[in-house]
Amino acid sequence: MIRAVLLLVAGLLFGFCGPAAAQTTLFLQDTGAGFTGYNLAGRYKVAGSILTATVNTAGSGTDIQWTTTAGGATISFASRPFTGAITIAGTVTINIWTAESSASANAGLRVKLSRLQADGTKTLFATLDKGTEMTTGAVAQNYTGAPTSTAFVKGDRLVIEPFITNIGTMGGGFTCSFTYNRANSGATGDSFVTLTETLPLNAGVGFR
C-alpha cells in the first residue's frame, strides 16, 4: 500500500503517470544503412564528427535534393529493415539544422518520406515543408506534418530525404547546408525525425 502511494506521488511530481507515448526518433547519421545509396537513420546516436551536406540553389528552383557536397551526389537516409508490419499515419516531427549562404537564396526546407521495399522499389508518401525561409546562421528547422497513411511490411525501410524548395522565387548561385551526425542533443547537427508510431526495429544499441 505504502509503495503504491509513493509511486502515485512520484507520478504526480514528475509526470510519470500513465504509459509513455509510443513514438520512434530516427537520427540522421554518417553510417551506412546496409542498403546501397543510403546513410543510416538510426534510433541511437553514436560518437562521431558533425558533418555538413551542401546543395547548390538554382534560379527559380522548386525541388532540389540535398547533396553531400555542392554539385555532388544526393544524400538519402534509411532506417534498418522493419521486423514486422506497421502503418505509418500519425504526425511526423522534423528537426533538421540548416542554413543558407545568403538571404537572397530564398530557400526553405522540404523533407520527403518514402517506403523502401527490399527489392529497391521506393514509394513517396509524405512531402513535408517548413514553409519559411532558412536563415544565414544554422538553426533547427523544427516543425510537424501529416503523412499519407501507408502500410509497411516486414523487410521494408523508412526513407528520409532532405530537399530545398523555393520561398518566393529561389535565387541561383547560392548554397544551403544542413548538419547531421551529432552525438549530443540540442545543438548544431542534432538532426532527426520523430514518428508517432513505435517502428518495429530490432531492440538494442547494437542494432541502432
162/108 Cα distance (integer angstroms)? 11
For the chain, give the percent of residues with pLDDT over 70: 87
| Best CATH choice for the domain 21-200 from the list 1.20.1530.20, 3.40.50.150, 2.60.120.260, 1.10.260.40 | 2.60.120.260
Which grid cell is 84?
514486422
Q: What is the mean pLDDT of residues 123-128?
A: 98
Distances (CA, A) of 187 to 16, 50, 98, 138: 27, 10, 12, 10
164/176 Cα distance (integer angstroms)? 8
Which grid cell is 59?
534560379
- Whether the pTM exceeds 0.95: the reply is no
- Measured CA angle at 148 (ends 118, 186), to 5 deg: 85
- Residue pLDDT, tens place only, 17-49: 333 457 999 999 999 999 999 999 999 887 789
93/148 Cα distance (integer angstroms)? 14
Sign of CA dihedral 103, 77, 117, 197: negative
pLDDT exceeds 50 at position 13: no
Q: Are 90 and 197 in contact (CB under 8 A)?
A: yes
Q: What is the mean pLDDT of residues 52-74?
A: 98
Query: Would you place residue 203 in the very low, low, confident or very high pLDDT band (cuts 50, 70, 90)?
Result: low
Domain limits, the chain: 21-200
Reference 157, options 199, 127, 192, 126; nearest CA is: 199
120/81 Cα distance (integer angstroms)? 12
For the chain, give the percent of residues with pLDDT over 90: 80
Q: Is 194 exposed, middle or buried (0-12, 13-18, 19+ CB in 10 A)?
A: middle
pLDDT for the residue 51: 96
